[in-house]
Amino acid sequence: MDALRDPPRRERFIPPCLGATGRHSPARDPSRDHSASRLSEPKQGIWSRVGSRTRSALTVGLRSLSPPLAGGYYEELEELLVAADLGPAMAATLVAGVRSRSPRKREEAIDALVAVAAGVMSKKPRELNLAGNPACILFYGVNGAGKTTTAGKVAFRLREQGRKPLIVAADTYRAAGIEQMVAWAERAAVPHFDGSSGADPASVVFDGLQMARKRGHDVVIADTAGRLQTQRNLLEELGKIGRVASKALDDEHYESLLVLDAVLGLTSLVQAREFNKAIPITGLVLAKLDSTAKGGAAIAIEAELDVPVKLVGVGEAIEDLAPFDPAAFIRAIFH
């Protein structure tokens, strides 16, 4: 594989035992099962804050509808759900589910809506799959979705848990992209391996995985270049990155995470469909979920693709990342 080492990489390492404050991070506890990770549980009240904009549109509307027994209730409910960016198909599915439960009062109808919405969400595991030696998390998505920020936040959380992550900056199309990832790596106090501008990103990921194995890193976090779902050549390149990563991992499974900008709402479903054709998606990240009134789109995306949202970005600070709790999220936006 010597050909994969041209052009040369730039390697810069931060002492992996030091945290952002200069203190030693906690030692990894070998007695714990590290094959899956929930990162850390969200702060109390986070779902109320995350769902506030979507909820403000939905709850006022739900409580202003006619009673369920009145004529026109279900048509009004469907229109309200479409306006909340769940899309016509999902709105019709949810309304049919509520109707089948024959609620008599508004609160009964809302409780039925919560139950039906929870039932259409993906049942696949939401924990990060961190099995493998090393484990690998590959981030991708359109430009500006929040991939690099999310990669830095995940690296920070994993280091805080006592893991030894390595960030691989594989956005080789833009020097600024590499510099941004390096800045997040240094902010998270995590070592990084960055490819030269113009290098083959699949080769950078391969070499990063090989180096991580040699140096004892147990998780590789790979950040890739932004690409539109309409750019077929770049989607094919992403598929190649996935295949090369799988080969470097001896065909072990890795996390393949599509980062979506939650502000775009149901538009993200179009992106997810196309990315899923290029590379199997194992999970979704909803970035900027605290800044949108279109959070309902998460329900439609999960239901169609059967791919779970695993992480949500809820602010700009390095700590502002949380595992996704579908039940808490649904309650937050409908109640």
Are 88 and 226 members of one domain?
Answer: no
Q: Mean pLDDT over all residues of the chain?
A: 83
pLDDT of residue 37 exceeding 70, the answer is no
C-alpha–C-alpha distance, residues 258 and 151, integer Å? 11
Q: What is the mean pLDDT of residues 6-16?
A: 39
Separation between Cα atoms, residue 294 and residue 84, nearest integer Å: 6
164 or 37, greater pLDDT: 164
pLDDT tens track for 229-264: 888 889 999 999 999 999 999 888 899 999 999 888
Among 89, 120, 151, residue at a domain's last position: 120
Mean pLDDT of 179-200: 92
Q: Which two tokens mark 101?
A: 């439960």
Residue at which a domain ends, from 120, 149, 167: 120
CATH number for the domain spanning 322: value is: 3.40.50.300
Please indicate, yes or no, whether residues 107 and 178 belong to a single structural domain of this protein: no
On whether both 325 and 179 belong to a single domain, the answer is: yes
Asked whether residue 228 falls in the same domain as residue 292, the answer is yes
Q: Which two tokens stand for residue 89?
A: 């198909």
Same domain assignment for residues 99 and 69: yes
What local confidence, expressed as pLDDT, does residue 251 receive?
80
Domain boundary (77, 101, 120) is at 120
pLDDT band (50, 70, 90) for residue 51: low
- The residues near 174 (Cβ < 8 Å, ≥ 6 apart) are 197, 225
CA angle 279, 286, 166 (to 5 degrees): 65
CA distance 53 to 49: 8
241 lies in the same domain as 159: yes
Could you tell me if 67 and 136 lie in one domain?
A: no
Both tokens assigned to 211? 């180096």
Q: How many domains is the chain partitioned into structurally? A: 2
Predicted pLDDT at 1: 35
Mark whether 245 and 109 lie in a shared domain: no
Q: Identify whether residues 211 and 70 lie together within a single domain.
A: no
**Together in a domain, 65 and 201:** no
Same domain for 267 and 317, yes or no, is yes
Tell me the C-alpha distance between 147 and 126, whole Å: 18
Assign residue 90 the CATH number of its domain.
1.20.120.140
* pLDDT score for 16: 39
**Residue with structure tokens 């990162």?**
39
Q: What angle do CA 254, 176, 228 make, to 5 degrees?
A: 55
Whether the predicted pLDDT of 109 surpasses 70: yes
252 burial (CB, 10 Å; 0-12 / 13-18 / 19+) is middle
204 pLDDT band (50/70/90 cuts)? very high
Query: Do 189 and 266 share a domain, yes or no?
Result: yes
Domain containing 69 equals 46-120
pLDDT, position 294: 73
Q: What is the pTM of this model?
A: 0.84
The answer on pLDDT for 27 being more than 50 is no
Specify the range with the lowest mean pLDDT, choosing from 3-17, 71-85, 274-288.
3-17
